[in-house]
Amino acid sequence: MATSLSNMFLKGIAARSLSRPLNGLFYCTRYSTTVSNDSDTHDDFKPANKLENSGISLSNVIEQDVKDNPVMVYMKGVPDFPQCGFSSLAVRVLKHYDVPISARNILDDPDLKNAVKAFSNWPTFPQIFIKGEFIGGSDIVLNMHQTGELKEKLKDITSKQ
Amino acid sequence: MSSRGATAVLSRASRIRSKLQTALEATVLEVDDVSYQHAGHAAVKGSSDKETHFNLNIVSPKFEGQSLVKRHRLIYDLLADELQSGLHALSIVAKTPHETNPSK
């Protein structure tokens, strides 16, 4: 049983630290299943403690996310099922362009939410990063779309990348 | 009368307006409470505070030479206390006087 539990949580941690999310839903589902279905979780196996002990830093996860994914969005919900009007707006704008959108759902992970806020020094969501640069929230992305700045910034990113 | 004044509590909208006007010396400052549009919003369910969403339209010379990100960050910094105590989201339009009258 101990071995089985340990493997379960290691998978959860591995999923959390994926450098390129396959898609938000995948990330979300795995993480939720690992944590929320096991009310008997012993403190020693809680992901937060495990993460801290293992030396994996959430700010490193974010740094890697932003570096590896040309368009990276930290949002409420996932691109196919946003749970906030602002996150929905940002995704709808980005979908005008033929670029791959990588995302993480910050509603599933309070620690990730706080780590992203600290990383960008920005208090609200969604937060959009393009080619490693913090762009801002949905207001700014919409504004850049309207002025043509966004097209310029995304022009060398293609869905085949 | 003075005791009534002493016990009055400013609404969040008033606090926001006051903080922004003091710091930005805005020529235009519109603070619209649109919380009703987000009633039932998943992320704010259970919040006893009703003033959660505001649209801001600000024209200030303080924004001169500042990128959009820096302007928004400035505003968020000024309202950090509100964001910590129940304010959920802001929609921000931040311009310089020149940007609202390009022909001048």
Q: Indicate whether B94 pLDDT > 80.
A: yes
The Cα of A139 is separated from the nearest Cα of chain B by a number of Å equal to 6
Average pLDDT estimate for B17-33? 92
Taking the Cβ of residue A55 and every Cβ of chain B, the question of whether any pair is shorter than 8 Å is answered with: no
Quick one: pLDDT at residue B12?
87
- Across the interface, whether the CB atoms of A124 and B68 are under 8 A apart is answered no
Average pLDDT estimate for A85-92? 92
Quick one: pLDDT at residue A50?
41
DSSP character at residue B59: E
Q: Indicate whether A15 pLDDT > 50.
A: no
The Cα of A118 is separated from the nearest Cα of chain B by a number of Å equal to 13
Dihedral over Cα of A101, A68, A118, A16: its sign:
positive
Q: Indicate whether A78 pLDDT > 60.
A: yes
Domains recognised in chain A with CATH numbers? 61-159 (3.40.30.10)
Q: Is the ipTM of this complex over 0.85?
A: no
Domains recognised in chain B with CATH numbers? 12-39+51-99 (3.30.300.90)
Q: Indicate whether A12 pLDDT > 50.
A: no
Burial of B9 (0-12, 13-18, 19+ CB in 10 A): exposed
Quick one: pLDDT at residue B51?
80
Q: Select from B41, B80, B91 the Cβ nearest to the Cβ of A139.
A: B91
**Contact between A113 and A126 (Cβ < 8 Å):** no
Quick one: pLDDT at residue A67?
86
Size of interface A-B (CB pairs under 8 A): 39
Quick one: pLDDT at residue B64?
86
The Cα of B26 is separated from the nearest Cα of chain A by a number of Å equal to 20
Q: Which residues, including other chains, have CB under 8 Å from residue A129's CB and lie 6 or more apart?
A: A65, A66, A69, A71, A72, A73, A120, A135
Structure confidence by residue, pLDDT tens digits, A110-154: 999 999 989 998 999 999 999 999 999 999 999 899 999 898 889
3-state DSSP call for residue A116? helix
- Across the interface, whether the CB atoms of A124 and B69 are under 8 A apart is answered no
Specify the higher pLDDT residue, A32 or A59: A59
3-state DSSP call for residue B63? helix
The Cα of A121 is separated from the nearest Cα of chain B by a number of Å equal to 8
Quick one: pLDDT at residue B43?
57
Q: Which residue has the tokens 């307006």?
A: B17
Structure confidence by residue, pLDDT tens digits, B31-86: 989 887 776 655 555 555 568 889 999 999 999 898 989 899 899 999 998 988 88
Taking the Cβ of residue A85 and every Cβ of chain B, the question of whether any pair is shorter than 8 Å is answered with: yes
Quick one: pLDDT at residue A47?
52
Q: Which residues, including other chains, have CB under 8 Å from residue A113's CB and lie 6 or more apart?
A: A74, A106, A107, A125
Residues of B in contact with A84 (CB under 8 A): 41-43, 89
Quick one: pLDDT at residue B46?
55
